[in-house]
Amino acid sequence: MLRIENIKTFYGNIQALQDVSIEVKKGEIITLIGANGAGKSTTLMSISGIEPPRSGKIFFEDQDITGMDPDKIVSLGIVQVPEGRRIFPFLTVRENLDMGAFLRTDKEEIKKDIEYVYSLFPLLAERKNQPGGTLSGGEQQMLAISRALMAKPKLLLLDEPSLGLAPIIVQQIMDIIKKVNTENKTTIFLVEQNANLALKIADRGYVMETGRITMKDTAKALQQNEEVKKAYLGI
């Protein structure tokens, strides 16, 4: 579904990604784990077209999307929930959701999907007229995921959804991610520092170190891998 081939992405003169290649198959959950600053977020930003790679190619459903404008990429079905959630603080919860459906014109379906995300996160329904900035961290994460779902993504990119949240909320969010994957057949690309958590729900995983992919395997195998255990799982 998504094929990243040898991309190199730079911030100014600093190279953030070095020959990164990743493949995502339709319907699976893949995870990219690694330490802070390894280049995980940059990978997602390259896919979304915000930080286009200087060389290498990105294909989505066999279409070359390298260097495409971010809004075109969204219209193809790749939607990202960025790190830090980035809720529009002065738009209401409902308006934030409307923005998720920005490119859609099927009004009736949008209404149904709003009901759907309210059923996933009933708290959001209660707070629909409240400005997004007044929500707690966990609620904002729920809103950020819901907002992305409003775009009806084929591929959902999630950047550190567990960051800064209480364990009970993290578990709830991971369950929803799993649910979205199985019920809606949405393919998921999950970036996480919390490798333990990510490998539990993922089918396959990639490990990233200083801008390079250093390991790839099934999630099960990575969980057993001695190096991964030592470096990322704290065992």
Residue 7 φ then ψ, to 5°: -85, 145
- Distance CA(83)–CA(163), nearest Å, equals 8
For residue 95, count other CB atoms closer than 10 A to its CB: 15
- Closest CB to another protein among 32 and 157? 157
Instruction: Give me the residue label for tokens 């949240």.
Output: 165
19: contact with another protein by CB under 8 A: no
Instruction: Give me the residue label for tokens 């979205």.
Output: 180
Shortest separation between residue 96's beta carbon and another protein, angstroms: 8
52: contact with another protein by CB under 8 A: no
128: contact with another protein by CB under 8 A: no
106: contact with another protein by CB under 8 A: no
Helix (H) or strand (E) holding 95: helix 93-100
- Closest CB to another protein among 97 and 199? 97
134: contact with another protein by CB under 8 A: no
Cα separation of the two ends of the chain = 34
Shortest separation between residue 159's beta carbon and another protein, angstroms: 10
Shortest separation between residue 120's beta carbon and another protein, angstroms: 18
102: contact with another protein by CB under 8 A: yes
- Distance CA(165)–CA(114), nearest Å, equals 24
Helices 93-100 and 107-120 sit at what angle, rounded to 10 degrees? 120
Q: Buried b vs exposed e over 102-117: b needs ≥16 C-beta within 10 Å?
A: eeeeeeeebeebbeeb
151: contact with another protein by CB under 8 A: yes
- Which residue in the set 6, 11, 55, 103 belongs to the binding site for another protein (CB under 8 A)? 103
How many residues would you count in the chain?
235
Shortest separation between residue 80's beta carbon and another protein, angstroms: 5
Total interface residues for another protein by CB under 8 A: 25
Interface residues for another protein in 53-92 (CB under 8 A)? 69-71, 74-75, 79-80, 82, 84, 86, 88-91
Residues forming a β-bridge with 2:
24, 60
Shortest separation between residue 91's beta carbon and another protein, angstroms: 6
- Closest CB to another protein among 103 and 166? 103
Shortest separation between residue 196's beta carbon and another protein, angstroms: 25
Quote the distance between the C-alpha of residue 154 and its chain's center.
12
Q: Which 8-state DSSP code applies to residue 7?
A: E
Contacts to another protein by CB under 8 A: 48, 50, 69-71, 74-75, 79-80, 82, 84, 86, 88-91, 95, 98-100, 102-103, 147-148, 151
